[in-house]
Amino acid sequence: MNGGLRLLSAAWRRRFTGMLVVAGSVVAWPVSAQNRIEPEAERILAAMSENLKSTQTLSVAYDADQEVVNLQGQKIQYSASGSIAVDRAQGFRMKRVGPLANAEVIFDGDTISLHDKTRNVYAQLQSPGQSVEDAAEELRATTGLDAPGAEFLSGDPYAVLTDGVTEGIVVGSAFVNGVECDQLAFRTDIVDWQIWISKGSGPLPLKYVITTKWTTGAPQYTLRLSNWKWDGIDAAQFKFTPPAAANKLEHVHADVTGELSLETGQ
């Protein structure tokens, strides 16, 4: 009997569109700007990046909404919640509870373990390196699965986020979960994306939206981040011991819908 672990992938969200509309009016992009980020947008994004880079350990809770347009042209939104804990020297643990799985991804500095708690099945991948970035890239390359907000966990979030950006502006002030933020909007040849960064000292990303350019219906991926913490990260949580009677799966792949599927193939 086949067993399987299924997770929603965020890899597909790199293919996105649209005009940015705020309060019913179109935001005018600089018509003469190619490969241009407004200085204030650059400053705010760089400050957030430096704040995240300065941390050795962190944890954050997230809510993710992923839109998919089906073959009938109907847009369906899938929602999931979870958390991520990271120690850059030890590993990471990502938890996700959604409509398809109650799953975890654990990296111990050597092995990446994927565990479906509902079905009591797991799979493992060997990381090519010991860094969190190495493991996240191997996970993405092998399975098509991105850790939610992986850009913010990298060694240089600014470089990752601005790769391919042609334009960037400050939209203005906004509030996310009661916190005043700077809302920024960026464009690339492939996707448009927006980010809401908390104002004041220690700026943090609180909301992140990516919109497709070339997919019918312009589906969006929305990530809300909350409860940021810098300490109290127990490295023991990065060690994975298979539960009793857990079935180890052999095959890891993402299907055409961007869903991760692990099956025994038996």
pLDDT digits (tens, 9 = 90+) for 61-104: 999 998 999 899 999 998 989 999 999 999 999 998 887 778 89
Res. 30: pLDDT tops 60: no
Range with the poorest average pLDDT among 49-53, 56-60, 129-133: 129-133
Q: How confident is the model at residue 137 (pLDDT cuts 50, 70, 90)?
A: confident
Q: What is the C-alpha to C-alpha distance for residues 137 and 126, in angstroms, rounded to an integer?
A: 12
State mean pLDDT over 128-157.
Answer: 84
Range with the poorest average pLDDT among 42-56, 126-140, 141-155, 166-180: 141-155
State mean pLDDT over 160-187.
Answer: 97
% of the chain with per-residue pLDDT over 90 = 54
Please give the residue that has the higher pLDDT: either 145 or 22: 145
DSSP β-bridge partners for residue 161: none
Q: What is the C-alpha to C-alpha distance for residues 192 and 19, in angstroms, rounded to an integer?
A: 9
Q: Is residue 4 part of a domain?
A: no
Q: Is residue 113 part of a domain?
A: no
* pTM tops 0.75, yes or no: yes
- CATH code, domain carrying 77: 2.50.20
State mean pLDDT over 199-224.
Answer: 93
- pLDDT for position 255: 44
Res. 176: pLDDT tops 90: yes
Q: Is residue 258 part of a domain?
A: no
Judged on CB neighbours under 10 Å (0-12, 13-18, 19+), 110 is exposed
Q: What is the C-alpha to C-alpha distance for residues 248 and 78, in angstroms, rounded to an integer?
A: 27
The answer to whether the beta carbons of residues 87 and 238 sit under 8 Å apart is yes
- Among 124, 141, 163, which residue's Cα sits nearest to residue 246? 124
The answer to whether the beta carbons of residues 210 and 193 sit under 8 Å apart is yes
DSSP 8-state secondary structure symbol assigned to residue 117: T
The answer to whether the beta carbons of residues 204 and 38 sit under 8 Å apart is no
Q: How many domains does the chain have?
A: 1
**Tokens representing residue 55 in the block:** 């941390």
Q: Is residue 74 part of a domain?
A: yes
Q: How confident is the model at residue 159 (pLDDT cuts 50, 70, 90)?
A: very high
Q: What is the C-alpha to C-alpha distance for residues 86 and 222, in angstroms, rounded to an integer?
A: 21
Res. 17: pLDDT tops 60: no
Around Cβ 201, how many Cβ atoms within 10 Å? 7
DSSP track, 207-245 = EEEEEESSSTT--EEEEEEEEEESS---GGGG---PPTT
Q: Is residue 187 part of a domain?
A: yes
Please give the residue that has the higher pLDDT: either 9 or 38: 38
Q: Is residue 24 part of a domain?
A: yes
Mean pLDDT value across the chain: 82
**Cα–chain-centroid distance for residue 189?**
20
DSSP 8-state secondary structure symbol assigned to residue 150: H
Please give the residue that has the higher pLDDT: either 217 or 172: 172
Q: What is the C-alpha to C-alpha distance for residues 37 and 40, in angstroms, rounded to an integer?
A: 8
Which residues span the domain enclosing 19?
14-88+155-230
Res. 195: pLDDT tops 90: yes
- pLDDT for position 262: 56
**Tokens representing residue 136 in the block:** 């996240």
What amino acid occupies position 63? D
DSSP track, 16-65 = -----EETTEEPPPPTT-SSEE-HHHHHHHHHHHHHHHT-SEEEEEEEEE
- pLDDT for position 81: 93
Q: How confident is the model at residue 261 (pLDDT cuts 50, 70, 90)?
A: low
Range with the poorest average pLDDT among 14-18, 103-107, 231-235: 14-18
